Amino acid sequence: MEPIKSEFSILLVDDEPDILEFVGYNIKKEGYSLLTASNGKDAIKIALKEIPHLIILDIMMPEMDGIETCIELRKIPALKSTLIAFLTARSEDFSQIAGLDAGGDDYITKPIKPRVLISRINALLRRTLNQQESDPRNNLGDIIIDRQKYVIINKGKEINLPRKEFELLELLTSKPNKVFTREEIFEEIWGNDVIVGDRTIDVHIRRIREKLDNENIKTIKGVGYKYEV
């Protein structure tokens, strides 16, 4: 199902006026409600007031860069369900990993064609809509996954995961003992229109394992992953 675009708000954060104007024009042209900020501090203030569905962050900004801004945004409970995507000229693997570790849901490198960017945005928001319409809770032994609250309860303890980690754990636990190939995971979590580095899944799996402190997520070498019960 396609999202009703006028009901979704996007906060675009970049210190370059030309980027705000050009990217913002294409976002508004697509039918989304647009908010803008030119630095991380203003972005946090606007996000707290407006609670956007998606925040698009540049990394290289003065005073507070995009990584720092993302970390601060992820500390705010009211923004738990807000997607955060980086839109940056930095394409190094370590920058992408830093962005994902900070709580980012997607990492998009410039330059990018407007239609490709809009396709990425549509894919992110479409998956959000689909999750809202599904069964809000999934119980699996010691783990309870609450899709509405974006909360994991593991052995009675509440754990907050960044959105992509949450979605990945939800996928693996949706069919216990099934082996999900890396291709299936990429398609389900990031979508066909999203291009991410080869290490992206591995970084997310490592962080989930650390937070759950269990050995249920198994690596099937050369194939993918499964949640074993």
Query: What does the pLDDT look like over 142-167, one tens digit per residue?
Result: 788 877 677 888 888 888 888 889 88
CB 20 within 8 A of CB 14: yes
Query: What does the pLDDT look like over 120-129, one tens digit per residue?
Result: 999 888 866 6
Distance CA 111, CA 205 (A): 29
Distance CA 96, CA 208 (A): 18
The edge-to-edge listing of strands for the beta sheet with 106-109 is 33-37, 9-13, 54-57, 83-88, 106-109
Closest residue by Cα to residue 138 from 154, 127, 124, 126: 154
Confidence (pLDDT) at 138: 59
Confidence (pLDDT) at 130: 61
pTM: predicted TM-score of the whole model, two decimal places: 0.63
DSSP string, the chain: ----GGG-EEEEE-S-HHHHHHHHHHHHHTT-EEEEESSHHHHHHHHHHH--SEEEE-S--SSS-HHHHHHHHTT-GGGTT-EEEEEES---HHHHHHHHHTT-SEEEESS--HHHHHHHHHHHHHHHHHHHHS-SEEEETTEEEETTTTEEEETTEEE---HHHHHHHHHHHHSTTPPEEHHHHIIIII-TT----TTHHHHHHHHHHHHHTSS-EEEETTTEEEE--
Tens of each residue's pLDDT in the chain, 229 residues: 555 677 789 999 999 999 999 999 999 999 999 999 999 999 999 999 998 999 999 999 988 999 999 999 999 878 877 899 999 988 788 888 888 889 898 899 888 899 999 999 998 888 666 655 554 455 666 788 877 677 888 888 888 888 889 889 988 988 888 899 998 898 888 775 555 666 888 989 999 999 988 888 999 998 999 998 7
Confidence (pLDDT) at 22: 95
Burial class (CB in 10 A: 0-12, 13-18, 19+), 55: buried
